[in-house]
Amino acid sequence: MTFLELFFIAIALSMDAFAVSICAGLTMPSAIIKRSLIVGLYFGVFQAIMPFIGYMAASLFADYIIEYDHWVAFALLSFLGARMIYGSFKKNEAPTGELSVGPKIMLPLAIATSIDALAVGVSFTFLQVSIMPAILLIGATTFIISVAGVKIGNVFGVKYKSKAELAGGIILILIGVNILIGHLSL
């Protein structure tokens, strides 16, 4: 997998965190820089941890399904992409009240927005992706995008949330199709 493909995966995976960050930014009238860094750290760290967990778990059974690995990667990425596209069409409401950036709120949000990354980590096993550079890129990309999302939400509101999810979903599906075509044409 090329660096560019990994970068696009990192961007696609960060779209859920970006959408939540935008919503968080809507509710943060004060201390925006400190709070945006906290939000970015939560999302970035969990987006890095989850693919590693998926990668390690899949490593245990990779030998058993290696001849079907491209289909597994395609199915996982397509499913996640379709889910993101579907989510982009749901009606979004602006949150009310100021979002706490404490662990009680941020931990569940970070886990919820990084579940997709767990499945991507599974597909990384089958694609023989070097996991450390991949998770560092995913974590750093998500951190930057989340910090930007808080600022954007603070300035622009939820106007672009669904467009970001739609773009992320399309990117994941296209990467899945590219993987499948690459393996079937060998």
Residues with Cβ within 8 Å of residue 126, at least 6 apart in sequence? 58, 62, 65, 66, 69, 70, 72, 73
When pLDDT is cut at 50, 70 and 90, the band that residue 62 belongs to is low
Which residue matches tokens 């390690």?
56
Taking only the tens place, the pLDDT of each residue in 34-54 is: 889 999 999 999 999 999 999
CA distance 97 to 122: 37
Residue among 160, 179, 182 nearest 171 (CA): 179
Side chain identity at residue 117, one-letter code = A
C-alpha–C-alpha distance, residues 137 and 101, integer Å: 24
Q: What is the pLDDT of residues 68-121, one digit of tens each?
A: 767 877 787 787 678 778 877 876 554 445 567 888 888 888 888 888 888 889
| Domain residue ranges of the chain, discontinuous segments joined by + | 3-91+98-184
For 86-116, letters b (16+ CB in 10 Å) and e give: ebbeeebeeeeeebebeeeebeebbeebbeb
